[in-house]
Structure 1
Amino acid sequence: MLVIGAVLGALGVMSGAFGAHALQGLLSDKAQGWYGTAVTYHAGHALALLACGLLSLHTGQGPGSRWLQIAGICFTSGTFVFSGSLYAMAFTGITRLGMITPIGGLLLIIAWCTLAVAASRLRPTPVGG
């Protein structure tokens, strides 16, 4: 999760820079909106995936670890589907791709909910242990 989160984060920064510099004047206002939303969700959920990875290091195989794995899978797949469909719409203008965007959004909602379940199961590690 840490590696995928870090790579998604780097790609999010690159996508944002690409949109701000290389795409100016090339995309319609609507397409720029889709692109901007894709970048925002992409970068934000890369951070959430990093949080899952860091928590996984803390929990090991302990309480909440399975829920963290599910959250990580949903954050990854949700980001690809949600942001990926918006990126594709921005570049191609094929608005029918927007029909799959909510699937990515649902996966992201599930990811946040499973992260909450995982967090509720975490127990503090004793000092020195």
Structure 2
Amino acid sequence: MNIIVVLAGLSGAMAVAAGAFGAHGAQAQAAEWLRTGGMYQLVHSVAAVAVLQLGARVPAWLFLAGGLVFAGTLYAMALGAPRWLGAVTPIGGTLLIVGWLWLGWSGVRG
């Protein structure tokens, strides 16, 4: 069993569910948070599987963790959690950026 692939699959499913809920059952601001979170989470779920195939485990973990924190805080606010969670969202974004930088550095190192 490959835990990264399992988590990427769950993450992708969560992203699609959030996007669908945002498109069909949420108010305007909540829908935007669900759309944004879903898009970032879905892209990084796919990226995690792709970079894993390149042997880049650390970026894969950073993509999954960053996607969960970034999208998770947006989803929580869309569902009524306090807006101060928006201050946590950039931590997820930072993990995503670090994942991309780590991947790029891996390419430089060969």
The equivalent residue for 1:20 is 23
Q: Structure 2 vs 1, CA of residues 7 and 120 (structure 1 numbering), >3 Å: closer, same or farther?
A: farther
Kindly provide the amino acid, as one letter, of the partner of residue 8 in structure 2. Answer: G
TM-score, normalization: structure 2? 0.85
Give the CA RMSD over aligned residues. 1.6
The equivalent residue for 2:83 is 95
The equivalent residue for 1:4 is 7
TM-score, normalization: structure 1? 0.74
Aligned length: 107
Residues 6, 46 of structure 1: 8 Å contact kept? yes
Larger helix share, 1 or 2? 2
The equivalent residue for 2:33 is 34
**Alpha-carbon deviation of 1:10?**
2.5
**Alpha-carbon deviation of 1:53?**
1.5
Unaligned runs of 5+ in 1: 57-67, 123-129
**Alpha-carbon deviation of 1:76?**
1.3
Kindly provide the amino acid, as one letter, of the partner of residue 51 in structure 1. Answer: A
Q: Deviations over 1:55-112 (max 9, x none)?
A: 12xxxxxxxxxxx222122111111110000000111152111010011110100011
Runs ≥4 in structure 1, deviation > 6 angstroms?
none
Unaligned runs of 5+ in 2: none
